[in-house]
Amino acid sequence: MGDSQVGCADGEAIWALHRALEDAKDVVALTGAGISAESGIPVFRGPGGLWRTYSPLQLASPEAFERDPRLVWEWYDWRRQLSRKAKPNAGHIALAQLERKIIDGGARSFTLVSQNVDGLHDRAGSRNVLKLHGDLWFTRCTACGEVKRNDQTPLPELPPKCKCGGLLRPNVVWFGEPLPQDAWTQAVEATCRARVFLVIGTSATVFPAAGLAHEARQAKAKVAVINTEATELDSTAAWVLRGPAGEILPRLL
């Protein structure tokens, strides 16, 4: 271990990170599927990550959609229904409160960068969520390109069609697809400014999103990893808080 403080979310590490968050001018939080786990939404990797017999890697790709749009939409429709029933948990809510606390403190910034597409950060009250991998609640037409909000759960027909007759796809980023330029640029800019960079509920295995944590460290930010399991960022993090985000994040406020 480097000089990380591995606290099983012990008071000392929590207190040190709380103080750092009080002092830092610019803060970034990068979240992954783990922050929605306590809301009942399965994570991508590990035991709960399967849907029927498929792993997300087999379904979250343009090739899978090309091959079987109906199957891919069945997966997304299932996730939309799950996300609709899910409620933001204490971890989502704590991040929204931390954003307000930092921004209302004046002349400081808090940027929430999420890999999640479930919409729970928005529902928790986070005001500026950079969605690196898109949003389940929007469709994009493969013919005319129209992007539209769609809250129907379940969807009345699978795969859904555009009024132009084109096939609709979920407006999310699949493997092999580029991230939305605007969100990515803002995420990189915020990361380069960050003095504290929180990495919450992500296995840090999907790039380029996971690369932000490395960028932050290079830019001399102090990185804090909040996760129920070990990640490859732990060895170079300033703090490693082992435990559920829903329990740890409220203690940082």
Q: Which residues are catalytic?
A: 133
Q: Which does 38 bind (CB under 5 to 8 A by kind): Zn ion, ligand BV8, none?
A: ligand BV8
Would you say 150 and 139 are in contact if contact means Cβ atoms under 8 Å apart?
yes
Q: How far apart are CA 46 and CA 194, in angstroms?
A: 30
| Residue 168 is a binding residue for Zn ion (CB under 5 A) | no
Contact characters 157-186, ligand BV8, x per CB under 6 A: ---------------xxxxxxx--------
Q: Which does 138 bind (CB under 5 to 8 A by kind): ligand BV8, Zn ion, none?
A: none
| Residue 206 is a binding residue for ligand BV8 (CB under 6 A) | yes
The torsion of the CA quartet 181, 115, 133, 150, rounded to 10 degrees, works out to -120
Stretch that binds ligand BV8, among 16-24, 31-39, 64-72, 234-242 (CB under 6 A): 31-39
Closest CB to Zn ion among residues 166, 243: 166
Q: How far apart are CA 76 and CA 36, in angstroms?
A: 16
Side chain identity, residue 76: Y
Contact characters 119-148, Zn ion, x per CB under 5 A: ----------------------x-xx----
Q: Pairing state of beta strands 109-114 and 26-31? A: parallel
Q: How far apart are CA 10 and CA 12, in angstroms?
A: 6
Q: Pairing state of beta strands 222-227 and 129-131? A: unpaired
| Residue 62 is a binding residue for ligand BV8 (CB under 6 A) | no
In angstroms, give the least distance from the CB of 163 to Zn ion.
7
> DSSP readout, 165-197?
SPBEEEEEPPTTSPPPHHHHHHHHHHHHH-SEE
Site residues for ligand BV8 per CB under 6 A: 32-34, 37-38, 43-45, 49, 60, 115-117, 133, 172-178, 201-203, 205-208, 226-229, 231, 244-245
Site residues for Zn ion per CB under 5 A: 141, 143-144, 162, 164, 166
